[in-house]
Amino acid sequence: MNETEIRNRIRDAVGETDYPPTLTGKVLARVGEPPSPAHPRLIGAIAAVLTVLIVVSFVYVRAQSTRPTRPANPSPPPTAAPVVTGPSPQFLLPEADLAAGGLTAAANAVTPLHLVSTSSGRTVTLIAGYADPSRIVLVFRTLPDAGSPQVQLSDEKGPINAGYFGASGAAGDQVVGFQQGPHVAGGGTTHLTITITGFAQLGSPSVSPGSWTFSADLPVRGATPLPLTPKLTAVGTWKVTVEAFELTPSVIHLRAVFDGAGPFTITDSTVVLVGPDGLPVKPTTLDAVPTGANQTRLDQTWIRPASAASYQLQVNVGVYRYSSNVSIPAPASSDTGKPGKGQPLTPLSFPQADESLDFQGAISDHITTGRPQSCGFGSGPDGKMIYEFATYFESHGVWYYVSFTTDKAVQEYHGPSTYTARTLLSPIAVGGPAESMFAGTAQLTVVSDGRNQIGGGGLHSGKVSGSLGWTDDPNQKVNISGTWTCRFSSELGPA
C-alpha cells in the first residue's frame, strides 16, 4: 500500500478533510509521546499499531532519499519526514518574484526556463519568463547581488526597443519587464534572444560589465477582449478609436488613438480605472505617443487583480466624462490536483515561535521569530530514527523556508544530541516552498524533543550551525547559526 492509498482510505473513513502528503511528520512527532491515561488500554494498543503501520508506510516513501531536494510544492502542515527525491511536479516561482513582475494573478502562466550563462566569473540563471500581447517579463538569478541587469532583447523580427522596468525579488533574483509584447511565431510561441551587458547598483554610475546570452522560446499568453458599454467613440471634442481593450493573465490593457489630443495633453488622469473601493488603480505603464499633429496613441496597463472584481473605466476630457463598468473574472487557480479543497496554507497559518538565527552571505539578517512547520522524530522500515526541524521566516520583506533533517547514514537519531543534518533553503511560492535555492549540511543540536514533558506536547528546542551553497554555483554561500524553538499541540502541529 503506498502513501496516496493510505491517505485516500483515511479520507474515506473520516470525510472530506484534505490530509496532506506530509501528514507523516505529525504522526512521527507523536510516536515518542506518552499515551493518554484517559483511553482504555485496548484502544491504546490498537492506535499504537495503526500509528506504526502508517508511519512505516509513510516514511518508507520519503526515507529512501539520497538527493537533498524538496518537492517544489510540499503541503504546508507540520511534518518530520525526510526530504523527497525526484523532479519537482510543479514549477513554483517565489511570491516575491511574482509581485515584483506584476505576475501574482498569472502564476500559472509563467514558463520555467532555468538557462545558465557564465561570464566574467559570474553565473546568471534565467529562471523564468512570461509574455502576452502587451508585455514581456524575465526573471534572472545571480549571486552575490550585483544590482539591476542591463538587458537587450530581440525576437524573430529584430530588437524590441520598448521601455522596461527592473525590480528585486527573492535573494539574488532580479525581475525585468518590457512594456511591449513580442512577435508571435507559429504555434503561439516567440523565440527570444536575451543579452545582459552588465549590472548596475542603484545610485551608482558604474556598471559591472560582462556578456550573458540566453536563447528562449516562450509561449505568448492570449488576451480576452473586454466589452465597453456604451461604445467608446468620442469624449467631448475628442474622437476615440479603441484598438484594444483586453484582459491578459497578468494585466488589463488599453490601446486607443485620441484624435484631437495634442502632445502633452494626455496625463495620468485622462484614462482612469476605478477599483471596487472607489479609488483609482495605479497604472503599471502609461505611454502616450503622438501619431500626428493633433493625434495621440495611448497604451496603458493595470495589474490584473488576483480575484474576481468589478471596475469602472473612466475617460476624462475637460468637463466631459465617459464611463463603463468592467467585470474582471478570477484568474486560473493553481492546479494542485485536488479541486475544491480550499486555499493553501501560508506561513502565517502557522503559530509564531521564538528563534534567534543569524544568516550571513547571500542572505544577511538576524531572525527573532519564525513560523515552524515541522519538528519531530520517527523511523522508516529500516528502524533508523531521524529528526527534522523546519520553519518559515521573513527576511527583508521576503518569506523563506529552511529545513534541517538528520542524516541517518551518518548517525541515526537517538534523542537530544548533536547531529549532521541535510539542510535546504527556499523562497516561498504561492503553493509552498519553491525549488531549493540553497543546499548543504549543518550541525543540528536537539536540546529538547518534547517527549519527556508532561502532556506530550512539549517544547522542542536546539541550536544549528552550517553553510549552504547556491544550487547553481556552490561557491555562493549562506551561513546559518543560532538557536530555534518549536512547540507541538495535541493536534499534532506546532502551537
- pLDDT score of 235 more than 70: yes
- pLDDT score of 357 more than 60: yes
Q: What is the mean pLDDT of the chain?
A: 81
pLDDT digits (tens, 9 = 90+) for 252-290: 999 999 999 887 899 999 999 999 999 999 999 999 999
Residue indicated by cell numbers 531572525: 367
Q: How many residues does the chain have?
A: 495
Written as nine digits, the cell of 129 is 519568463
The span from the CA of 461 to the CA of 449, in Å, is: 7
Which of the 8 DSSP states describes residue 35? P
pLDDT at residue 342, as a whole number: 56
Q: Is the peptide bond before 305 cis (omega within 30 degrees of 0)?
A: no
Q: For the residues 75-97, what does the mean pLDDT come to?
A: 51
Q: For the residues 467-487, what does the mean pLDDT come to?
A: 94
Q: For the residues 453-460, what does the mean pLDDT come to?
A: 67
Cβ contact 235:319 at 8 Å:
no
Distances in whole angstroms, Cα of residue 218 to Cα of each of 112, 141, 168, 185: 9, 18, 22, 10
pLDDT at residue 118, as a whole number: 93
- pLDDT score of 400 more than 60: yes
Q: For the residues 153-165, what does the mean pLDDT come to?
A: 91
pLDDT digits (tens, 9 = 90+) for 428-447: 998 778 889 999 999 999 99
Lowest-confidence range among 322-326, 349-353, 491-495? 491-495
Residue 346 binned pLDDT confidence (cut-offs 50, 70, 90): confident
pLDDT at residue 47, as a whole number: 40
- pLDDT score of 109 more than 60: yes
Residues 6+ apart with CB under 8 A from 178: 135, 136, 137, 153, 160, 162, 163, 164
The span from the CA of 464 to the CA of 350, in Å, is: 21
- DSSP three-state, residue 29: helix
| All domains of the chain in start order, with CATH | 95-220 (2.60.40.1630), 224-328 (2.60.40.10), 347-487 (2.40.128)
- DSSP three-state, residue 174: strand
pLDDT digits (tens, 9 = 90+) for 182-208: 988 777 999 999 999 999 887 777 788
Per the DSSP assignment, residues forming a β-bridge with 461 are 448, 485
Which carries the bigger pLDDT value, residue 122 or residue 57?
Answer: 122
Cβ contact 23:79 at 8 Å:
yes
Residues 6+ apart with CB under 8 A from 162: 178, 179, 180
Residue 290 CB neighbours (<10 A)? 15
Residue 248 binned pLDDT confidence (cut-offs 50, 70, 90): very high
* Secondary structure element (H or E) that encloses residue 475, with its range: strand 473-487
Residues 6+ apart with CB under 8 A from 80: 24, 25, 26, 28, 29, 374, 375, 376, 377, 378, 386, 387, 388
Listed in order, strand segments (DSSP E) in 133-187 are 135-142, 148-155, 158-159, 164-168, 173-178
Per the DSSP assignment, residues forming a β-bridge with 32 are none
pLDDT at residue 343, as a whole number: 64
Q: For the residues 105-112, what does the mean pLDDT come to?
A: 94
pLDDT at residue 458, as a whole number: 79
